[in-house]
Structure 1
């Protein structure tokens, strides 16, 4: 996928046209190198309460160990896919925490043979959540030396530039027709948000019409453009300047946060010159009131602040990963909670904390507990190997935890 070729056309679109607001901020990542960098930028944009449009162009590849799709980045190779590509479920996790109806994802993707086949076998492989509509064209990756151009995304950009006021469904249909006219081969699959399904009848995205795939091409790079409405400083909602999140300007004394996600020294960043504000009570109150998206957005904003101030290998950043993990538990999302607890445990071990450190053991124990509650067997199998690897390094204080885990994985 010649992803960068569409960036000039997207850059010519007024950002406010994308978000439907008077003004907007655009974050453009052309040929990004590091998945953590992409995640940090995406997380910062997702923390904004306003409309968010994410445009993706690139190549999808399958992590054979976890059987999960990844978006290739600039340094991705088949051997380093798990470490140098952006896991698709990271994208789904960050955008899924936003308020429904505020996020749109438009994508033009080339799928390697394994991903192309799994699109037919696994309904909802690229699903981003019920509140995050995905409009996409997916084509099988071309043969070596025959790059694909993102004609669908180019057509969407031209429609935006033309000033046409089309509904998302109409814009998708028009862009799909133009893309097929310009590049009729290889046969594409167009993904659109499914209509609201009945409670007992989930409606998956449209599967591919064929499973045959060409030989695997060389991995190319991805480009990501993230227009987001302004104002969008992440800390604004945390310090209380945005009434929608309900955080008071001056926090009154409150009981301690439950130990499920409070480290020995929780961070409390605040703007220069302002009194310290503890965001935990308001976050917890929002979660307990059922406003899970609001709570997760505020926690993500504080995590971004910690990453910016202290770096990814810091107690402050890990603390907010653990907060988000417990918020996912409260929201009834055990797979997401397990994933975040695993990330927290890995981060603490990367900071050279001992395997018998109570914080490390606690993170692994909570990841294990949440894994036991995952009802989706695909997600459970995907997270299982990472949990087993951590259990071998961090056996914990409950005898037989590793043996029980391996038996259930068996």
Structure 2
């Protein structure tokens, strides 16, 4: 969700990113998303730390699924040259192989943490690259036993130039789902009309959290006001640069129209290799004289960087992109997907993407390739919303690499996103994705005449339907 407030006199805008995530089921340690309604009721300029600014941007991520998508949102927010406020509610774990700290997302499980959780060093890397003093992070996290050892051992560092407030608590051994009490207290104080300086604000919030939660040994950050919270937090520490809120640098930049990137529908183009589509992907016939529409999901198109040589024929259904020098993993991944082992296939592709990220960096052709592979795997698993989100992210990354709106790979990504969006039967989910897709389609109209008009008409129909239902898209 994107909120922009424009009711102040100060011309300098602010940016806030709210990330609340926790796994579903018995792996949940904290009801992270329960704090979002309270924070959403706080004025945008207060959340962004620029009270009275001309505009303030709030980016909300509620139980996101994909770490790469979350990284894209964090990177976009961190790219703003002015002050940035990050609010993090969730839980911390350590992966079994590399022993690295991760923040769990909605689909995280112990066995898949490396692929489905957000690596903490990704977050730290984006923050540390910012100008010192321009970033404030507010934590309300729960850590399992291994993560707690790392947190108390000093592995939570976000850079000396970052102000850190809030709390990290050890997980309860009673399998009790915790509440984000610190952030709820912060939201409550702000909603009351009070505007204390940040150290005082978080001191009050810590005291309220301690009164509500009882002694839980939480590690406190940035709390300078003495009070009950310290009685229950023997490990309390002072975060660097814990100056008052009014001292925050007031140069933050507005991110105009920042929305989740749309997802693509591929259209084979000259110079690219297409794999024959499966029989169940064939487009139904379109009546003569019917309105032009986005084509049904075509065969996968091999992604390639601008100016690169046309790719060789891909292996077994996936675009090759930049093939690794060792044995080609694509056939095994596709075989798992075709055999119905979709989680296994997705985890393998995510592992390759993470490896590419370590070797080649964010936004590289190698990372982009595996992102598009995962989008196609989501299509095969019949998860159109997920596929749509991933394809939109791929289109956004390509545009961020300075590929033009009429680049065949960009057009293919947007077309695939459009097609997958039309397959979504959950009306609420379709409505959430629609604004980003419309914005992307306006930027990348594609080669199919009337695609934007058809999307807008479909969106109007969606809003007219009874909540929770969505009829099938018109026959093409």
Provide the TM-score with structure 2 as the length reference: 0.43
Rg larger for: 2
Higher helix share: 1
Provide the TM-score with structure 1 as the length reference: 0.50
- Of the two structures, which has the highest relative contact order with CA contacts closer than 8 Å and spacing of 6 or more? 1
